[in-house]
């Protein structure tokens, strides 16, 4: 049975130690960063190795939020922003051009379209960073953002996540929302997860943590993984860690079972097969008609559909 965790890899191909590690521990899924994304052929070989190591067609995630966070880059891959966090004036720039818009209705509409497109192509979507990272005044990679905004103000940030609560997966924010839980960031907060995300939003998909190696969370990787899963996350994720750290981390993660396993299997089903045969040329022609940007421009410079909003 796969463990309730997601781990990354060190480079362009698996080392012998990584192959042995994955074979012995069987993490549920993997995630790729830029160091592992050189070319389509290289990535196909790498992902084949990863799946062979665990002996199944494991999900492989990629940190592809668009804007300033994009691992598959132009000119080979297009650049679009897919986060549901709002672009909020005066907040930290960490979200920035990863966001669709500052308007929650626009974010929800574009997010819905992005999810539909991903699923049609056989790619399972992850909405992030629930319940909303856009208002943060600090970068959670480097410290813990604390928001003292009241619930009425936060409702603005929460709206896109509530609207898209039928997504198959979501990723938590390492942020303290004092109006909900003054002690714990969302990733480690049973109150945020059970009362807000599962309760008020009605989200019943798989809930994963953001990278627990980020400085917003303190403590050891095993302790943070256990705390997140105890709070209600289905799966913990560790990135940019040594092999030794990854070994300690997976040892703290339980096997996927019960509702968490059901949610994982439902997410896997989304990614099994493209729902349609995609005519790439026709799709780009449609894109150009809607946006006024041709394929060459989108692939060479990147394209931000919110640039004029």
Q: What are phi and psi of 261, to 5 degrees?
A: -65, -40
Cα–Cα distance for residue pair 171/109, rounded to 1 Å:
19
- Of 3, 10, 60, 64, whose CA–CA distance to 30 is shortest? 60
* CB contact at 8 A, 291 and 140: no
Q: How many CB atoms lie within 10 A of CB 156?
A: 17
Catalytic residue among 210, 211, 234, 293: 210
Catalytic residue among 57, 141, 142, 279: 141
- Of 199, 177, 203, whose CA–CA distance to 189 is shortest? 177
Catalytic annotation present for 141: yes
SS3 of residue 144 by DSSP: coil
Catalytic annotation present for 194: no
Q: How many CA atoms lie within 13 A of 206 on its CB side?
A: 31
Cα–Cα distance for residue pair 97/306, rounded to 1 Å:
9
Q: Which residues are part of the catalytic machinery?
A: 141, 210
């Amino acid at each position: 049975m796969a463990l309730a965790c997601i781990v990354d890899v060190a480079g362009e191909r698996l080392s012998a130690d990584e192959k042995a590690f994955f074979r012995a521990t069987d993490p549920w899924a993997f995630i790729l960063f830029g160091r592992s994304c050189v070319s389509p052929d290289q990535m196909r070989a790498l992902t084949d190795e990863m799946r062979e190591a665990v002996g199944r067609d494991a999900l492989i995630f990629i940190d592809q939020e668009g804007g300033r966070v994009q691992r598959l880059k132009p000119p080979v891959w297009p650049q679009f922003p897919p986060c549901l966090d709002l672009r909020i004036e005066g907040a930290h720039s960490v979200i920035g051009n990863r966001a669709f818009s500052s308007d929650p209705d626009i974010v929800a509409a574009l997010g819905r379209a992005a999810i539909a497109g991903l699923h049609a192509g056989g790619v399972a979507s992850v909405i992030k960073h629930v319940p909303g990272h856009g208002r943060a005044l600090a970068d959670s990679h480097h410290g813990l953002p604390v928001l003292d905004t009241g619930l009425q103000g936060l409702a603005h940030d929460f709206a896109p996540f509530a609207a898209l609560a039928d997504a198959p997966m979501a990723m938590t924010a390492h942020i303290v929302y004092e109006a909900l839980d003054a002690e714990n960031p969302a990733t480690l907060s049973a109150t945020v997860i059970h009362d807000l995300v599962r309760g008020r939003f009605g989200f019943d998909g798989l809930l994963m943590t953001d990278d627990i190696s980020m400085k917003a969370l303190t403590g050891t990787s095993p302790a943070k993984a256990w705390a997140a899963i105890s709070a209600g996350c289905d799966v913990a994720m560790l990135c940019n860690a040594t092999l030794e750290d990854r070994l300690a981390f997976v040892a703290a993660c339980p096997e996927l079972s019960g509702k968490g396993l059901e949610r994982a299997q439902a997410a896997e089903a989304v990614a099994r097969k493209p729902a349609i045969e995609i005519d790439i040329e026709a799709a780009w022609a449609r894109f150009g008609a809607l946006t006024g940007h041709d394929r060459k421009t989108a692939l060479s410079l990147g394209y931000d559909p919110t640039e004029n909003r």
